[in-house]
Structure 1
Amino acid sequence: MPKPIGEITRGTTGHNRLRRADRWVVAVHGRLLRSVERPLVVDLGYGASHTTTLELFSRLRRVCPSVEVVGVEIDPGRVAAARPYGREGLSFVLGGFELPVGRPPTLVRAFNVLRQYGEAEAWEYWAMLRRRIAPDGVIVEGTCSEVGHRAVWAGLDATGPRTLTFSARFGGFERPSDLAERLPKTLIHRNVPGEPIHAFLRDFDHAWAVNAPLGAYGFRQRWIATARTLARTWPVATRPPLGGRARWRLGELTLPWSAVDR
């Protein structure tokens, strides 16, 4: 068997750490999964425990009973520890960015995998994954805090990055730009003056401050108002499934990748 592509990560994980991303995947890509005869989802780099892969499997099965989930890990010991938890539709295999699965996946979730790589390497691995997904497939790649209260992820398809989503637990931050430390590796080093992502985070903080009086009604109302304020000057998604009140009330905000790209 060829050597897996990639490097072993710290493997930190925990219950419900990726709940925010999973909830978004279900809302945004549930219809895509149901439209495929044999939908395959890959959880790439699930870490030292099978937990988040099993949670993903359980959440997706509720909206798409035919989905198959494969956890892919580059550490043989982690794969061996996870395999006893496999079941019909859920399995664990040794591998890396080459995605050693039987057919092109409809969806790949990769969280906290690219943090240790350089920006150029991250772009290369994005390209590698894009070549391996199904023609209508998608990739959700991002980073979250240790307990999952802050997260940022990119949504990609075969043509490249399409969306950028910010997600935070209300009360888990002081200002929206606190999420900057969770930006994708392809973007985090560009958070400097003169770059679009820096301008967006500056305006995000300003909108948050302007809507501070609504904090009297709770963080949720303040976040919703902040999203509406931002949508006046930035192409923030305002309609389902990516945007609108239903997503904003969960502490989410999505905009096109092109808005923060060079």
Structure 2
Amino acid sequence: MVPSRLRPPKPLGTITRGTTNPNRLRRVDRWLAGSHGVRLRRAADPLVVDLGYGAAPVTAVELFTRLRSVRDDVEVVGIEIDPARVAGAEPLARPGLSFRQGGFELPLAGRRPVVVRAFNVLRQYGEDEYEAHWDEVRGRLAPEGLLIDGTCDEIGRRSTWAAIGPGGPESLSISLRFGAFTLPSDVAERLPKALIHRNVEGERVHTYLKALDRAWLDAASLASFGNQQRWVAMCTAMRAAGWPLRDGPARWRLGEVTVAWSAVAPG
């Protein structure tokens, strides 16, 4: 028997269902490479973590490929609690891409990642648990690092994510494939754990989603020009109404919109 003081610490967290599909996380990867490419380029240590990548490592491989187009020395580490999943991923390891067992404690030998992407992970925890895991991870980030806590549907058509920095949550992003929704609020079932149970009357996120719906309906006359033009008009109207959107038309044309966390934070 190995003395307890010599045993590695138990990974923090529980094994997820592990469901994954190729290209499922393309929307958040596109946002990281676009909106936060500068964050990667100026990082002293361009270390990125794919936390809880699931039963197959395809999303970690895709993240590595996409971010290498931003900075060719980006290093991606896929972290999974299940040792069988880590063993199954090892054949895909290469310089700059590796896999290891662990959880929210981030077993990185003291290194501080500039990005931790945790997608479809925290939604499987209780509402009383997510904040402690946020705190655990953000305490291990680089000074300008981000934890991305997100959720999407099975093939990545509807997606949301919260960006959490060392000081706390900063923004909420919504990204939808045109033609895959009737109203923007259709994404509600994919909100991060911090917000999914707050989509009720009186909560900020509920007000925000309803405002998006109204602006989308008000822009119906532009539907003949395409949903892209209609989405841009919706976002333009939201900004004019005082919503603190943190992006602009270049992101809006992708079916994406990001708002400051203060506008949707739980009351």
Fold-level similarity (TM above 0.5): yes
Q: Tell me how far apart the structure 1 counterparts of residues 142 and 247 of structure 2 sit (CA, whole Å).
A: 25
For the aligned residue pairs, the C-alpha RMSD in angstroms reads 1.0
Indicate yes or no: 2:63 matched with 1:59: no
What CA distance in whole angstroms lies between the structure 1 residues aligned with 2:242 and 2:29?
25
Say if 1:227 and 1:236, in contact at 8 Å, map to a contact too. no
- Which of the numbers 167, 178, 196 marks the counterpart of 2:186? 178
Q: Mapping of 1:105-254 within 5 angstroms?
A: 105-237=113-245, 242-254=246-258
- Percent identity reads 56
Deviation at 1:40, TM superposition (A): 0.5
Q: CA deviation at 1:174?
A: 0.7
Aligned length: 258
Deviation at 1:28, TM superposition (A): 1.8
The alignment's TM-score, normalised by the length of structure 2, stands at 0.94
2:262 matches 1:258: yes
Give the whole-Å Cα distance in 2 for the aligned partners of 1:162 and 1:236: 12
2:4 maps to none
User: Is 1:2 aligned with 2:13?
Assistant: no
Q: Who is 1:70 aligned against?
A: 77
How far is the alpha carbon of 1:145 from its aligned partner? 0.4
Query: Which residue of the partner structure matches residue 5 of structure 2?
Result: none
Letter of the 2:94 counterpart: R
TM-score normalised to the size of structure 1?
Answer: 0.96
How far did residue 2 of structure 1 move? 1.4
Unaligned runs of 5+ in 1: none
Counterparts of 2:237 and 2:244, CA distance in 1: 10
Give the Cα–Cα distance (whole angstroms) in 1 for the partners of residues 241 and 227 of structure 2.
22
Provide closer, same or farther for how the CA distance between residues 48 and 234 of structure 1 changes in structure 2, counting only shifts above 3 A: farther
Q: Secondary structure at the match of 1:38?
A: coil
CA deviations on 1:181-204 (whole Å, 9 max, x unpaired) are 111101111110011111111111
Q: 3-state DSSP class of the match of 1:152? A: strand
Runs of 4+ in 1 over 4 A off after TM superposition: none
Report the alpha carbon displacement of residue 139 of structure 1 after superposing the two structures with TM.
1.1
Per the alignment, residue 55 of structure 2 pairs with 48
Separation in 1, partners of 2:102, 2:154: 24
The superposition leaves residues 44-84 of structure 1 with CA deviations (integer Å, 9 ceiling, x where unpaired) of 00001110000000011111111110000011111110011
Distance 1:37 1:253 in 2: 29
Whole-Å separation in 2 of the counterparts to 1:50 and 1:234 = 41
* CA distance in 1: counterparts of 2:241 and 2:169, whole angstroms: 21
Counterpart Cα distance in 2 of 1:245 and 1:104? 33
Q: How much has 1:31 moved relative to structure 2? A: 1.0
Instruction: Tell whether the 8 Å contact from 1:220 to 1:250 is kept in structure 2 after alignment.
Output: yes
Partner in structure 1 of residue 42 of structure 2: 35
Q: Secondary structure of 2:13's partner?
A: coil
Query: Does the CA contact (< 8 Å) of 2:148 and 2:163 recur in 1?
Result: yes
